[in-house]
Amino acid sequence: MAHSRDRITLITPEQVQVSYELAGLGSRFLAGLLDTLLAGLLIFVLAVVIGYLRARFAGDSVQGVVAWALVISGAMLLYMAYFVALEMLWQGQSVGKRVTGLRVLSITGAPLSFEQSAVRNFLRLVDFLPVGYAIGLVAILATRRMQRLGNLAAGTMVVKERLSELPESANLPEADAGGT
């Protein structure tokens, strides 16, 4: 495995070199911002529904505490589930990653597994500490694959999608129509 600060090259078991450009802070920030806004919208809807139910079935103050505990717990679970569900559905991409052309892969280059997605997204809460993804930012800057703690624990990395076509010289010659 060879790497520079912004690129990593892996060698498959078939001895084929595969090179990925690692996702930088800017594209990751934009993807994260979009995903946070979308997940925040889902959480807001959850809070409104629970608030409505709380008002509809108002009673003692214990119900208010339980309602807010449900909102906070539900918000955390929904935030993590948003990423895990989309990463499984879209092979390592959330809405933000898809828009910005990023993908999460195993550090071996293999597709992201459910377990890896669950671990990396559960630890997203730790990466956020103390505020504004401070721990995650330090980890990204300090690791050679630009990994936050969740990625380190899950054995994953975030790469840029390859959206370009093969160079003209890489195309295979067309078969002769005459059968020679």
Please report, as a single letter, which amino acid is at residue 3.
H
Radius of gyration of the chain (CA): 21
Buried b (16+ CB within 10 A) or exposed e, 137-152: eebbeeeebbbbbbbb
Q: Give phi and psi for 101, each to the nearest 5.
A: 75, 35
Phi, psi of 2 (to 5 degrees): -110, 155
Tell me the average pLDDT across 33-41.
95
- Going by C-beta distance under 8 Å and a sequence separation of 6 or more, which residues neighbour residue 42? 78, 82
DSSP letter at 168 equals G
- pLDDT of 180 > 70? The answer is no
| Least confident window among 75-89, 107-121, 142-156, 160-174 | 160-174
pTM over 0.75? The answer is: yes
Provide the mean pLDDT of the chain.
85
pLDDT digits (tens, 9 = 90+) for 148-172: 999 999 999 999 997 654 455 555 5
Q: Is the pLDDT of residue 56 over 90?
A: no
Q: What integer pLDDT is reported at residue 59 of this predicted model?
A: 63
13: cis peptide before it, omega within 30°?
A: no
